[in-house]
Amino acid sequence: MSGRGHQDFSAAEIDWRPGQDPGVAYARFMLDDDNSQSPLVILSRFEPGVRVGAHTHDTNYFEYIIAGEQIVGKTTFGAGDVRLVKAGTGYGPIVVGPNGCTVLIVFQHAAAAVTVPLPRAAAVAG
């Protein structure tokens, strides 16, 4: 929010960008552009059937499933479900359900939110 204490966006103004994986789009909202330790909010949309490999992040995060469903490891999460993941915890793969999935993720520290892929055998939590 660089220099501004308040910003609002209508749904039509959200800047959706292509994700690293095909079928994934995201919008990024940095709460304080001048502070790399600031929380980072991500909206992500996944097309039906998308698979995201096992990975981790070097920061804690909160995920809220807005719509659709995803299977993380062996657990299915649907609209209204919440995932809390501690920094360094491996999870996945993530497999998106037949109706796609939209999630809201809040990373505790923006600078550490980068996705860190894990070896295939390391898939876990869920």
Q: What is the CATH number of the domain that holds 110?
A: 2.60.120.10
Q: What is the pLDDT of residue 20?
A: 85
pLDDT-derived band at 33, boundaries 50, 70, 90:
confident
> Is residue 119 a part of any domain in this protein?
no
pTM of the predicted model as reported, rounded to 2 decimal places: 0.86
- Domain assignment present for residue 36? The answer is yes
Give the domain extent around 21.
17-114
The answer to the question of residue 95 being in a domain is yes
Is 125 inside any structural domain?
no
Sign of CA dihedral 94, 43, 27, 30: negative
Residue 122 included in any domain: no
Any idea what DSSP says for residue 122?
Answer: G
CA-to-CA distance for 53 and 19, rounded, in angstroms? 13
Average pLDDT of the residues in 88-114:
94
Percent of the chain at pLDDT > 90 equals 68
| 119 compared with 51, residue with greater pLDDT | 51
Per DSSP, the three-state class of 110 is helix
